[in-house]
Structure 1
Amino acid sequence: MFRHKDDRRPSLSQGPTESGSDSEGYDPTEEQTPLTKEDLRRMLRETSDDIKAYTTAALEKQIAGLKEDIEALASRTSHTEKRLTDTQAATTQHSRAIETLQERVLYLEDGLEDLNNRSRRQNIRIRGLPESIQPEAILPTVQAIFQSILPDTSEQERYIERAHRALRPPAFNLNAPRDVITKLLHFPIKERLMKAARDSPPIYQGHTLHFYQDLAPTTLKKRRDLQPLTTALMEKGWRYMWGHPFKLLVKKGDQTYTLHQVTDMQDFATHIGLSLRQPTPTADPSAENSRHSELRPRPPRQQTKPRPYTAPKGQLHMDN
């Protein structure tokens, strides 16, 4: 390569002139001198500086954009974390409130069930009375049965406020007639009738009658759910009784154990040394109206060990 001895070519950073030539007054026919290493180094430095300047400007622009994006993401992340913290706190508060409400609902349900059972304390559920008895003949028929059980009482003492069939459709099986529910005016007479019928079940037209305490549908379902336990108790010959509000009292040796919740049945049986079997589904003629056949399940309560309970004398009996 050659260059004019009195003129130097402009650097790459200067760019072309307005006339489009490499430099003003440059004449390619003039005498040229070869480029030295120093010239090449200078040109390389100038080119490198131009590239660095362009690259630096482009990077600074991109970095500025990234910085703005990162700041925006940081702000959104901080806002999201705050909302998440608030949501977690609200969820914890709502969970505690729900637990409290569930406990209150269970308490109210137990109270309502107890009131329902107390309103039925003077009722007797008679099982086995044939369906052939017409509705208008139920009351005089029951009065005659009660008179045969307690002949030493007057008609006024045995006064029956009402008597009717259980409120459910008639069964297709004639051997399983609907129960007859009666309400007596005097509670002591009702207790005497229950005891006398338990000691010697009355017979009407060849049908053996059984007297039971009238109970709320929820209580009946709980007792059916405890059937595996009561069956095992009868097989063992252990005495048990039902308490109010709902509980099962089991006599074992010198101690009496109490079960309050159906969900504790398995733990209760293990604690007193019983092995339970799964019940076989069967039709229950004592079930009331079909609208009570499906009851809303209750959430299980905290598991507790059965505690000894001292029951008053004369209250333990074997279930019929």
Structure 2
Amino acid sequence: MIISLRGALQYMLTFMQKSKMEIDALGERVDYVENKMCEFTSTHNEMVDSHFELEDEVKHLKMKMADLEDHARRNNVKFRGIPENVKPLELKRFLKDMIKKLMPTIPHQQLEIDRAHRLPKPPHISEKLPRDVIAKIHFYEVKDQLMQYARRNSPLPDPLTGIVLYADLSQATILARKNLNSITKILRNHSMIYRSGFPTKILVEHKGTSYSINNLEQGLKILRSWGILPKDEVIISDKSTPGKMPQDWQKNQMNPLYTLFKTTYIEFMVQHHHLLEEKHIYIKYISFTTYLYIKHTTNFSKCTRNYNES
């Protein structure tokens, strides 16, 4: 029986040593993967930072381009509702007479229009409405006074009631103003007077202080500071940006496979503690090797049988 038990123990030790070598090899491979994962995470987060920087630069360049385009259009005015029976060659004369009728105090020498023509009709405009007319007014002061008059006197007096005036803005500026619609809606719901600044500002006065809102995030912050918008209310933005990968995990000092390997034998000792102690069989765990110390008794067969039955 002693020879049989020794053979079983020797086989077990050989198996454990082989398992140790395999686990060491797997541990090295896991360490390699963990190191590569750390490098990947660091590289990814650096790329995300670069993405944010490039995104800000592109946004700044787009704003500059839109600003240049708006400045090139600053003397333009769009007229909606001018009848189609006004011929292209008659548009300048019609607009001059219209401006003179609305603002008779303007000197005749300042009533100069560089060019005027009709625009293609947008898809959302009814077929019954005439095409819009865009005109470049030579003097910016005249154009500014005309737009102010149109804002104060809407609709225009007869016989110009059906004509509406619009500023000529770039598509980027129009889109930026649309993104602020959620802010202007909240202001209207609270009966707060505001006006649009150039190019995409919202100018509003609250308790004697003037505020300038340039973007959605700034507007939400200001509205929350006024107590108009609840702190827990969220307005969804269309902006989508990549996120960083978390680095809250650390490589374990002890290989996970080693931990599992050791835990299996700890559970074995707990489950068979009383039997092993009774039969003077002790299991110790040192590093990766498990070996048995045996204090033999007078009845090895009974000990071996009880061990196998457990």
Q: What residue in structure 1 maps to residue 234 of structure 2?
A: none
The one-letter amino acid paired with 1:243 is G
1:185/1:299 CA distance change after superposition, 3 Å: farther
CA distance in structure 2 between the partners assigned to 1:239 and 1:179 by the alignment: 29
Is the aligned partner of 1:100 residue 2:53?
yes
The C-alpha deviation readout for 1:227-274, integer Å capped at 9, x for no partner, is 465466567664423223421111234211221113444443444455
Q: What residue in structure 2 maps to residue 217 of structure 1?
A: 171
Q: What residue in structure 1 maps to residue 63 of structure 2?
A: 110
Q: What residue in structure 2 maps to residue 89 of structure 1?
A: 42
1:166/1:210 CA distance change after superposition, 3 Å: same
CA distance in structure 2 between the partners assigned to 1:107 and 1:128 by the alignment: 36
- Structure 2, unpaired ranges of 5+: 231-236, 242-310
CA distance in structure 1 between the partners assigned to 2:216 and 2:139 by the alignment: 33
Q: TM-score scaled by structure 2?
A: 0.60
Is the aligned partner of 1:268 residue 2:222?
yes
Contact 2:82 2:133 in 1 (8 A): yes
Q: TM-score scaled by structure 1?
A: 0.59
CA distance in structure 2 between the partners assigned to 1:65 and 1:237 by the alignment: 80
CA distance in structure 1 between the partners assigned to 2:160 and 2:108 by the alignment: 26
1:168-207 alignment, distance < 5 Å: 168-169=121-122, 171-172=125-126, 174=128, 176-200=129-153, 202-203=156-157, 205=159, 207=161
- Structure 1, unpaired ranges of 5+: 1-46, 277-295, 301-320
- Greater helix fraction, Structure 1 or Structure 2: 2
The C-alpha deviation readout for 1:208-244, integer Å capped at 9, x for no partner, is 4333322222333343454465466567664423223
**Structure exhibiting the larger radius of gyration computed from Cα positions:** 1
Is the aligned partner of 1:72 residue 2:25?
yes
Contact 1:164 1:182 in 2 (8 A): yes
Bigger RCO (CA 8 Å, 6+ sep):
2
| Identical columns (%) | 24
Is the aligned partner of 1:251 residue 2:205?
yes
1:244/1:85 CA distance change after superposition, 3 Å: same
1:274/1:127 CA distance change after superposition, 3 Å: farther
The one-letter amino acid paired with 2:195 is M
The one-letter amino acid paired with 2:206 is K
The C-alpha deviation readout for 1:72-128, integer Å capped at 9, x for no partner, is 112101111111111121122122212222222222222222222222111112233
Contact 1:114 1:244 in 2 (8 A): no
SS in 2 for 1:207: coil
CA distance in structure 2 between the partners assigned to 1:212 and 1:154 by the alignment: 23
1:61/1:239 CA distance change after superposition, 3 Å: closer
Is the aligned partner of 1:148 residue 2:101?
yes
Alpha-carbon RMSD across the aligned residues, in angstroms, is 3.5
| CA drift at 1:136 | 4.9
